[in-house]
């Protein structure tokens, strides 16, 4: 565990991580429907993941970004997942505090997955 102290609930962290993975799968499904081959899919993933990582708070706190970028960052499930991870690991907070982030991440994840699934069904004809 790299000697990282975990202040909160590990099962809660794993449950909310599964929710984040669901939204990530939806994003992958959506990108897969935009690409014609594997190389295009990899490039789309590469050029979409890194900007999202930068504006989601993984490198720079969202609060220190310009207001338009802050608003844009809240369209990414990763922003909410970062808040959840920091809340559980460092602050020891539970679902009573993190439910708004979990709900936002679930709504975005369902939306992204539904969009990807819709495009996939159209792609299959």
pLDDT in tens, 59-90: 999 999 999 999 999 999 999 999 999 999 99
Taking the alpha carbons of 93, 97, 102, 104 in that order, is the dihedral positive or negative?
negative
Res. 40: pLDDT tops 90: yes
Question: What pLDDT does residue 1 have?
Answer: 57
Terminal-to-terminal C-alpha distance of the chain: 47
Rounded Cα–Cα distance for residues 60 and 85 (Å): 15
Query: In terms of DSSP H, where are the helices of 9-94?
Result: 10-34, 38-55, 67-73, 77-86
CB 72 within 8 A of CB 55: yes
Rounded Cα–Cα distance for residues 90 and 83 (Å): 10
36-47 mean pLDDT: 92
Q: Two tokens at 81?
A: 């997942």
Question: What pLDDT does residue 119 have?
Answer: 93
Rounded Cα–Cα distance for residues 84 and 60 (Å): 16
CB 56 within 8 A of CB 80: no
- The domain locations on the chain are 10-119
Buried b (16+ CB within 10 A) or exposed e, 106-118: bebbeebbeebee
Question: What are the tens digits of pLDDT across the range 86-122?
Answer: 999 999 999 999 999 999 999 999 999 999 999 999 9
Q: Is the pTM of this model over 0.85?
A: yes
Question: What are the tens digits of pLDDT across the range 1-39?
Answer: 578 778 899 999 999 999 999 999 999 999 999 999 999
């Amino acid at each position: 565990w790299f000697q990282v102290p975990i202040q909160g609930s590990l099962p809660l962290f794993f449950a909310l991580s599964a929710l984040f993975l669901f939204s990530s799968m939806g994003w992958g499904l959506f990108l897969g429907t935009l690409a014609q081959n594997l190389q295009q899919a990899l490039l789309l993933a590469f050029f979409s993941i890194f900007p999202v990582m930068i504006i989601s708070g993984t490198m720079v706190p969202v609060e220190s970004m310009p207001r338009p970028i802050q608003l844009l960052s809240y369209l990414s499930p990763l922003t909410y997942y970062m808040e959840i991870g920091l809340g559980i690991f460092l602050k020891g907070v539970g679902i009573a505090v993190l439910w708004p982030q979990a709900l936002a991440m679930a709504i975005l994840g369902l939306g992204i997955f539904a969009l990807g699934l819709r495009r996939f069904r159209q792609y299959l004809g």
